[in-house]
Amino acid sequence: MHWAGAKEKVWLAMLGLVTGLLLAGTGLLGSANADSEAQMPLDVPLNEQVLSVSCGLLTGIKLEVTLFTPKGPGPFPLAIMNHGADGNKTPRLNQRYRTTTAAYYFLSRGYAVALPMMRGFAGSGGEVKRNGCDLETIGVENAKDIVAVIDFFSSLPTIDTSKVIVAGQSFGGWNALAVGTLKDRRVVGLINFAGGVKPSDCPTPESSLAAAAGSFGEHTKIPSIWFYGDNDKVFSPSTWHAMYDSYKAVNGDAELVAFGNFMGDAHNLLGYPEGIAIWVPKVDAFIARIGLPNRLVNPEYMPTPVPPPTGYAAIDDVGAVPYLNDQGRELYRKFLVKPLPRAFILAPSGSVSSFNGGLDPLGKALKDCRKRSQNCQPYAVDDVVVWVKRMAIPAASHFAPLDNPAAVPYLNEKGREGYQKFLKFPKPRAFVIGPDGAWSASARGSDPLAMALQSCGKAHQNCRLYAVDDKVVWVEETGAKGTQAQGK
C-alpha cells in the first residue's frame, strides 16, 4: 500500500510592504488622491545615484534627481520618469521618487533612468507655484526644469541624450506632455500614464485640462502615447477623453490606449504586475516606432509575469486549495485579508509561501517557496486563482456516495478502514482498487492519481481509480457487480 502526503509541515513567509499614495497633481494644489505604485524595489542592482541638478544659472534652485543605470559601461539612452504626489502631505514631505515599475521597465530595455523631483518636492529647492486654472503654465514651468535635467546629463559620457524619452505618471504625465511644447530636439517621445492636475484654486479643472491639452498639442510635434482607464478615481473617462480629443485635433501623432477597467483604480496602472501585460507591449511598439531600443536585454529588472486566471475555483474557496492541511488552510485565510498586490504559492509537499506588497510579490513568494520545496506553483495572485490542475481527472460516475465505504468494490474490512482514512486526505487525492482486493491511496504530490495507480500496479493487475478528490469515478465493468475479493 502506498500513502502520500501525510502531515507535511506547512511553511509561510509573510512580508507586509507598505505602499503610499499617488496624486493627480500636487498636494499644495489640492489634487485628489489615488493609489500608489508599490514602494519596495526589486532585488536587483540599480547603480543608484542621488544628484543635485541646477534648474538654471540664474535661479540658484537645485532639483533632487535619482539616476539608475543598468549593468555595463554605457553610454545608455536616457528615459526620464516624472512623479505624481502624495496629497496627504505637503509637497516638501513627499518621498523621493525612486521605485516605479516604469523605471524598471526602461532598465530592462537598457536605458538609464532619471527621476527628478519637481520644485518644492522632497529634496528639491524652490516652491510649488499656484497658477489657478492656468494648467498650461503649471506644466510648462515644470517642463523647463525637466529640460534642465537633460542638459545636466548631456555632459556625462555614460549617458546618451541624443534621443530622450520623457514619461510620467499622473502629475508627472501632465508635465511630460508639457515638455513637448519646448521643442527640444533631443526629446523624441512622450509617454503619459493617467496624466493631469486638479488645482484646489481652479473651479473648472475638467474644462481647463481639455483647453490646456489642446494648447500642448498645438505646440508639440513629438509623438506621444496616452494610457487611461475607465475606473480611474482621479480623472473620469469624460475628462481624459476631452483632454485627448482636444490634443489630437491639432496633433495627429498621439496614440490613446484606453484599457477599460483595471483592478480597483485604473489610475494606478503602474502599481500592479497585472498592468504589465497592458502597457509594456504598447510602449515597446511605441519606442520601436520612434527608433529607440525596445528589446528585453536585462530581464532581471522586470517583475514575474502574472499567469492568467484559470477558473479552477473561487478565490475565497479555502477547501478547494490543493495540498494543504488544516494549518495550511488557515494560512490561506490570512492571505485572503492581506492588501494587494499579493501572491500565494503552493508546493506538492504542502509547503506554501505568501507575499504582499512591493513590485514583485509573485517572484518573491516563488523564490521563498523554492528554498524549501520543488515544483512550487502559483495558486492565487491578488483576487484571482491562477492554479493549473495537473491531473486529468475522469468525470464523476455517481456509482455511490463518496462517503460510503461499504459501496467500494473488492475491499475487506482493512481496506474500508483505508478508504475512510483517504476521505480525510487533503486534495488533490486519489483512491485506487484492484480485483484481488488491493488498494492504494495517494494525496498531494505532483500527480497523486498517477502515483496511486503506479503503486497498486507494482504488485497487482487491473488496478483502477475508484475516487479522485471529492467524487467517485468508478465505472463498473460488465459482470463485475457484487464481486469482491479478500483485501490484501
Give the model's pLDDT for residue 389: 72
Residue numbers in the chain where pLDDT is lower than 50: 1-39, 479-488
- Residue 313 counted as domain residue: no
Give the model's pLDDT for residue 426: 87
Give the model's pLDDT for residue 390: 67
Average predicted confidence (pLDDT) for the chain: 85
279 with 333, same domain? no
- Residue 276 counted as domain residue: yes
> Where would I find the H helices in 194-342?
205-218, 237-248, 276-289, 326-336
Q: State how far the Cα of 75 lies from the Cα of 156, in Å rounded to an integer.
A: 9
Give the model's pLDDT for residue 20: 24
**DSSP-based three-state secondary structure for 248:** helix
Domain of residue 372 covers 318-385
Give the model's pLDDT for residue 305: 83
- What's 212's domain CATH number? 3.40.50.1820
The residue from 354, 385, 416 where one domain ends is 385
216 with 360, same domain? no
Give the model's pLDDT for residue 63: 96
Give the model's pLDDT for residue 455: 84
232 with 355, same domain? no
327 with 416, same domain? no
- The percent of residues above 70 in pLDDT, for the chain, comes to 87
Residue 405 buriedness (CB in 10 A; 0-12 / 13-18 / 19+): middle
Give residue-wise pLDDT tens across range 78-101: 999 999 977 677 888 888 888 788
Q: Which residues contact 388 (CB under 8 A, 6 or more apart)?
A: 307, 310, 312, 377
| Residue 112 CA from chain centroid, whole number | 23
Give the model's pLDDT for residue 136: 95
- Residue 283 counted as domain residue: yes
> Where would I find the H helices in 154-236?
171-179, 205-218
Give the model's pLDDT for residue 57: 67
Provide the β-strand partners of residue 165.
79, 189
pTM of the model: 0.70
User: Total structural domains in the chain?
Assistant: 3
